[in-house]
Amino acid sequence: MPKQTTQKSLPHTFKKFTTQVVYFLVIPFFLLAFAALYIPFHIDLLLDTETTRASYSFNISMMMCIVLVVMVISRVVLYVTRAINHMSLNLYRIWCVMEILVSTFFVALYVSLIGHFEMQYLEILVRTAAYMFLTLLIPYLFMDLAYRLAAVKSIDPATVANDSRIHFYDSRHNLKFVVAADHILYIKADENYITIHYTEAEKNKTYEMRSSMKSIEDICAANGILRCHRSYFINPMHIKALRKDKENLIVAELDITEGILIPVSKTYYEDLVKVL
């Protein structure tokens, strides 16, 4: 699993399906409405110096359709891969810029095909890029701000304090993951990262974040998730049996079908036995 960077991670609000729908509808239709109402930045000259209102509207509609197709493909990919692409907020913004660049490439190609003037494709591409960025950055910036504010408001300190679930924060004290304690199977540490193994809808899942065993030890202990090894926490509720493996080392067998064995150090063995 790819490890997250130390950059600020992308809020969950940006990964929702409804968010992707809003983006691939608002961006192209803003382009259409803005161009139709204001004819900004002399876009009519780029399309054709002798363009009639009807043909201008048609060409703007075609540009909107091109952007719509690019946005739908981009947003579907972003949503489908949301579970594995531990994207930071900065990388997400780069993704948005790439959406504009790809849209610009295809719009410039369309303009070069319908134009009735002598102009090299590179010149058309540059002029199209200027128009696309000046126009589309408006809705992108507005929605970026709106969704970030929504993400901040969704984390109510009072709600968190009264929540019986475990709230995991990363090394930069950003809330990353919330899960019911009884859904946690075990937690494994790997250098500066921890991987939380948990169940959801009767399926075993994992979540990786930048943190340390020491930083989560108190909150785990307070919720009954016990240290069993220098690199592991385990949920006693899911321990099926404690036994020795072929190498005569103590391991915990969990009540999951995969039959995963979690190592148990002698240091933590007695404390673990007391709660079983």
Which pLDDT score is estimated for 6?
40
**Distance in angstroms (rounded) separating the CA atoms of residues 38 and 85:** 39
Are 200 and 183 contacting, i.e. CB atoms less than 8 angstroms apart? yes
**Distance in angstroms (rounded) separating the CA atoms of residues 143 and 139:** 6
> Tokens standing for 97?
């810029």
Query: Does the predicted TM-score (pTM) go above 0.95?
Result: no
174-190 core/surface letters (b: 16 or more CB in 10 A; e: else): ebbbebebebbbbbbbe
Other CB atoms within 10 A of residue 218 CB: 9
**Distance in angstroms (rounded) separating the CA atoms of residues 254 and 180:** 18
First-to-last C-alpha distance (Å) of the chain: 32
> Tokens standing for 26?
């608002």
**Distance in angstroms (rounded) separating the CA atoms of residues 44 and 53:** 9
Stretch(es) of the chain classified as CATH 2.40.50.1020: 159-275
Determine the CATH number of domain 159-275: 2.40.50.1020
H runs (alpha helix) in 83-228: 89-114, 121-153, 157-162, 213-222
Residue 253, φ and ψ in degrees, nearest 5: -95, 125
pLDDT tens across the length of the chain (276 residues) = 333 334 556 777 787 888 899 998 999 999 888 877 766 556 656 665 455 667 777 888 898 999 999 999 999 998 888 756 667 778 888 999 999 999 999 988 888 887 655 667 788 888 888 888 988 999 999 998 888 777 665 554 544 445 568 889 887 778 888 999 889 999 999 888 999 999 988 888 999 998 988 889 888 988 899 999 999 999 999 998 898 888 888 999 988 756 788 999 988 998 888 887
E strand map for the chain: 166-169, 175-179, 184-190, 193-200, 203-210, 226-229, 232-234, 239-244, 250-254, 261-263
